């Protein structure tokens, strides 16, 4: 049996994660998180989820790394020496074990889900609305990218909500992190008692 490239990528992911956890140099850690995202993007590409891979590469490897570097410029470059604690390690191990236990019920990777009823080996998710979406994208939309059709039309309300979330996040960041503008001084000179 040939060694699957997915396994290789997972090995690299694991190695990167362990190194990030052990590093004290925060600059190197920030760069390695970018590498972690890029490896994840490679995995998503192998799973034929190119849109997700695209987002992961652009957001995780690109913007997030830049923001972390921006934060590093405001703080220290090195992490302070922390005493080794066993409780968090145990909690992480238990959570990981629970997650792996949860995946045991999932259909096998690459399962086509062609069977008539949800049974072991049939991906139930493929029997819900997905066949209609795939058929509709081809016949009604005449578009090759199902993801765009689902995102912008079939699930248009959800995407509107997501855009609103991004909008809210940006407004929140602006309100919290950007210091007051000069309009404040104009207000003060015009009216000493601000009604807001």
Partner 1 sequence: MKTPMRMREKIVLRVVAQACIPFILLFALYVQFHGDFGPGGGFQAGVICAAGFILYGLIFGLDKLKKVVSFRTIEILVAAGLLLYGAVGLLTIGMGGNYLDYKVLDHHDPTHGLHYGILFVELGVGITVTAAMLAIFYAFAGRERA
Query: Which residues of this protein are in contact with partner 1, per CB under 8 A?
Result: 50-51, 53-55, 58-59, 62-63, 66-67, 69-71, 73-75, 140-145, 147-149, 151-153, 156-157, 159-160, 162-164, 166-167, 169-171, 173-174, 176-178
Compute the distance between CA of residue 196 and CA of residue 183 in angstroms, rounded to an integer.
14
CA 90 to chain centre: 25
Please provide the DSSP assignment of 67-124 as one string. Answer: HHHHHHHHS-SBPPP----SHHHHHHHHHHHHHHHHHTTSPPTT----SSS--TTS-G
Q: How far is the CB of 121 from partner 1 (least distance, A)?
A: 29
Compute the distance between CA of residue 175 and CA of residue 31 in angstroms, rounded to an integer.
29
Nearer to partner 1, 89 or 187 (CB): 187
Nearer to partner 1, 19 or 69 (CB): 69
Q: How far is the CB of 47 from partner 1 (least distance, A)?
A: 13
Q: How far is the CB of 138 from partner 1 (least distance, A)?
A: 11
Whole-angstrom distance between the N-terminal and C-terminal Cα of the chain?
Answer: 70
Q: How far is the CB of 25 from partner 1 (least distance, A)?
A: 16
Nearer to partner 1, 98 or 166 (CB): 166
Nearest to 40 by CA among 66, 70, 64, 23: 64
Q: How many CA atoms lie within 13 A of 95 on its CB side?
A: 6
Q: How far is the CB of 194 from partner 1 (least distance, A)?
A: 20
Would you call 141 helix, strand, or coil by DSSP? Answer: helix
Nearest to 65 by CA among 56, 75, 78: 56
Nearer to partner 1, 4 or 156 (CB): 156
Nearer to partner 1, 61 or 123 (CB): 61
Nearer to partner 1, 70 or 96 (CB): 70
Q: How far is the CB of 157 from partner 1 (least distance, A)?
A: 7
């Amino acid at each position: 049996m040939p060694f699957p490239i997915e396994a290789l990528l997972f090995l690299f992911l694991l190695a990167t994660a362990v190194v990030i956890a052990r590093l004290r140099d925060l600059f190197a850690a920030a760069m390695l998180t970018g590498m972690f995202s890029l490896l994840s993007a490679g995995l998503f590409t192998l799973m034929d989820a190119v849109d997700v891979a695209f987002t992961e590469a652009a957001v995780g490897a690109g913007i997030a790394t830049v923001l972390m570097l921006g934060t590093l410029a405001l703080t220290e470059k090195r992490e302070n020496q922390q005493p080794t604690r066993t409780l968090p390690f145990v909690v992480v191990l238990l959570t990981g074990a629970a997650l792996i236990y949860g995946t045991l019920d999932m259909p096998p990777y690459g399962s086509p889900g062609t069977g008539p009823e949800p049974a072991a080996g049939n991906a139930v998710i493929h029997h819900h609305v997905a066949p209609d979406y795939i058929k509709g994208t081809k016949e009604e939309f005449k578009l090759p990218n199902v993801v765009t059709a689902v995102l912008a039309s079939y699930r248009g309300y959800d995407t509107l909500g997501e855009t609103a979330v991004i909008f809210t996040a940006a407004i929140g960041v602006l309100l919290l992190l950007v210091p007051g503008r000069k309009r404040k001084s104009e207000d003060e000179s015009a009216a000493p008692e601000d009604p807001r």
